[in-house]
């Protein structure tokens, strides 16, 4: 293979990995802070993708303008869902283990509810639109303009969340809750406000990811579930609760998949991902990039 071919292959993996990281960051925020394993996370990515497609197809609104709209809409939905479902579970669950189990069952219900809602509203056909499909030449390599945009925005939003977690008072409160929930509450951190806000931001990130995906790929009501599974793999790679680890894990998994599919077979994509997942769980269960005492 030529240097250009290697560059295009690795760049393709990084582009995919950027989306993986963005989806995983939202899920990691929910689980790392609140122990909500939201397996419906990918379904809200799908909702964000359909909102963007619908606005572009019916109203001619630029998909780029729909990125912040998707974030705000999904964040608002997250606030409502937390209030209606998970806050009630927190109040009625006798301990954390019971809360996690009940939260998982609620997330199952939300997953099927979102899938069936999308099928009812938009049907099961493939949907899509053309946006910045012209090739962009970088050196000798060529890339689709929409995929470069998707990668750049995914990295930008991921970096923004990491900066928020590290540099702001809000982020320090979230990190304190992740490391020691009881200790954080003893020093006055208000979980009643922080939990719904972070759950909403997590869902908002899935809305952004959906908008970005719709710019470069076709969408269906069933597209969300594989991204949820991939997000769980990425979180395992990076370490539960680690935001920078999720970013690094997403990019790494994207490159591994791209190289593996090129040198073996595209049908082995899932096998490669699960093999990495099992290997990390067995050999380094705390994650490849996690450091003791640090979660962001």
Per-residue pLDDT of the chain (296 residues; tens, 9 = 90+): 677 788 888 888 998 999 999 999 999 988 888 889 899 999 999 999 999 999 999 899 999 999 999 999 999 999 999 999 999 898 898 988 899 999 999 999 999 999 999 999 998 889 999 998 888 887 777 888 899 999 999 999 999 999 999 888 888 888 887 777 777 777 777 778 888 999 999 999 999 999 999 999 999 999 998 999 999 999 988 888 788 889 999 999 999 888 888 777 776 777 888 888 888 888 888 877 765 544 55
The residue count of the chain comes to: 296
Question: Phi-psi region for residue 190, left (φ > 0), alpha (ψ -120 to 50) or beta?
Answer: beta
- C-alpha triplet 149, 155, 160: angle, nearest 5°: 125
Tell me the C-alpha distance between 223 and 43, whole Å.
Answer: 8
Nearest to 211 by CA among 40, 28, 45: 45
Measured from the Cβ of residue 225, the count of other Cβ atoms closer than 10 Å reads 18
* Cα distance from N-terminal residue to C-terminal residue, the chain: 38
Q: Is 135 helix (H, G, I), strand (E, B) or coil?
A: strand
Q: Residue 172 CB: number of other CB atoms within 10 A?
A: 15
DSSP, collapsed to helix, strand or coil, labels residue 78 as helix
């Amino acid at each position: 293979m030529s240097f250009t071919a290697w560059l295009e292959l690795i760049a393709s993996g990084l582009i995919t990995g950027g989306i993986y990281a963005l989806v995983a960051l939202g899920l990691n925020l929910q689980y790392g802070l609140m122990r909500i394993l939201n397996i419906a996370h990918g379904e809200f990515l799908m909702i964000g993708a359909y909102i963007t497609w619908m606005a572009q197809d019916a109203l001619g609104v630029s998909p780029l303008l729909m990125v912040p709209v998707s974030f705000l809409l999904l964040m608002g939905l997250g606030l409502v869902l937390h209030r209606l479902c998970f806050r009630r579970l927190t109040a009625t669950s006798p301990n954390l283990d019971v809360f996690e189990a009940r939260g998982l069952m609620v997330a199952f219900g939300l997953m099927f509810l979102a899938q069936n809602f999308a099928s009812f509203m938009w049907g099961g056909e493939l949907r899509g639109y053309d946006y910045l499909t012209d090739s962009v030449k970088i050196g000798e390599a060529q890339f689709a303009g929409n995929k470069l945009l998707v990668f750049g925005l995914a990295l930008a939003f991921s970096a923004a969340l990491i900066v928020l977690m590290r540099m702001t008072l809000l982020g320090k409160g979230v990190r304190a809750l992740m490391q020691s929930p009881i200790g954080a509450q003893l020093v006055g951190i208000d979980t009643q406000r922080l939990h719904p806000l972070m759950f909403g931001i997590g869902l908002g990130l899935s809305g952004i990811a959906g908008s970005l995906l719709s710019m470069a790929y076709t969408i269906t009501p069933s597209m969300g579930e594989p991204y949820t599974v991939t997000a769980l793999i990425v979180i395992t790679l990076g370490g539960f609760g680690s935001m920078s680890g999720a970013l690094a894990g997403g990019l790494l998994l994207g490159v591994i998949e791209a190289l593996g599919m090129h040198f073996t077979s595209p049908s082995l994509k899932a096998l490669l991902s699960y093999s990495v997942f099992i290997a990390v769980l067995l050999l380094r269960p705390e994650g490849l990039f996690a450091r003791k005492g640090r979660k962001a």
